[in-house]
Structures are given as C-alpha cells and as structure tokens.
Amino acid sequence: MFGFLKKKEPSQVNETLYAVATGKVIPITEVNDPVFSQKMMGDGFAVLPETGEIYAPIEGKILSVFQTKHAVGMKMANGLEVLLHMGIDTVELNGAPFSIKVTEGTKVVPGTLIATVDLEKIISAGKATDMVVVITNMDAVKEFDLTKTGQVTAGEIVGSAKA
C-alpha cells in the first residue's frame, strides 16, 4: 500500500567495457603514443580495428563530441568518464575520416554505432588507426580490469571499471 516502507532494489550499474570494433585489443601501454601508453590521460585499452564501424565501449551517455570528430567523451552510470579517441594524431585531419553518428546527451549501449571511420584515409595520412578507450577520471576508479586482449568482435566484453 505505502511504497516508502518497501526496501529499494539496488539498481544495477553496468561497469562493463566492450570492444569498440572488430579487431585486436591491446593494453593501453602498447599504444604507440606516450600520452596514452604512459597513462597520462588515464587507464584503458585500444582496439586495432579491421573495419571502420566504431561502437560504444560502455553503457552510458555522450558528454561531448570533439569539433574535429576524432574523439567522443562519454560517462558511465557509475560516474566514470570515458574518452574514445579514434586514431593517433588524427586531430590534424580536421574530421575528414570521421562520420559521427551520436550527439551530446545521447544514451548509448554496447552496439550503439558511434562513428564510421575511413581507415584508409587515416593510414594514407600516415596516422595509426588505434581506437583508444581511456578512463579519464582515474581518481574515481576503484578497480580497472582488462580481461581480454587479442582478437575480438565489436561489442565483446573486454573488461570492467568500478567506481
């Protein structure tokens, strides 16, 4: 009768990290860029993609889409902020290889298409195609686990991040 006496069910927070593309998952320490490999921006992983379809690495919400389209900021329900950085030094390409499919405020789940990327354009510009996923507010992270490396399919579980 009165709902305030009922115990609330603890809400489930999805702390899972997913492969953003079909390809090879590597630890962030193997990314060929010291800003990422030395974890200056945070911890995470990268996918060396086989195709240009790039999907959400988390369940959460889009916070920002960079004007140069090379990066998208997201937030998980547990408060962790995740940056998807598409390619290495691709800011210099002024968005040319990227077609962003989300906008700020969009709720995303694994399987949500974030962008399509012309990998050949990135490679012909002399850039690397690493799709880097970084947790940028590491001060809020209690636990980060990369549980799978090597060959993956887009949307496959690769780890978790607990706040």
Rounded Cα distance between 90 and 93, Å, is 5
Q: Is 70 a catalytic residue?
A: no
**CB distance 68 to 109 below 8 Å:** no
SS3 call for 121: helix
- What phi, psi does 125 have (nearest 5°)? -85, 0
Rounded Cα distance between 17 and 159, Å, is 5
Of 43, 85, 87, 115, catalytic:
85
Write out the two tokens for 91: 């800011």
Rounded Cα distance between 16 and 59, Å, is 8
Residues annotated as catalytic (active site), given as ranges? 85
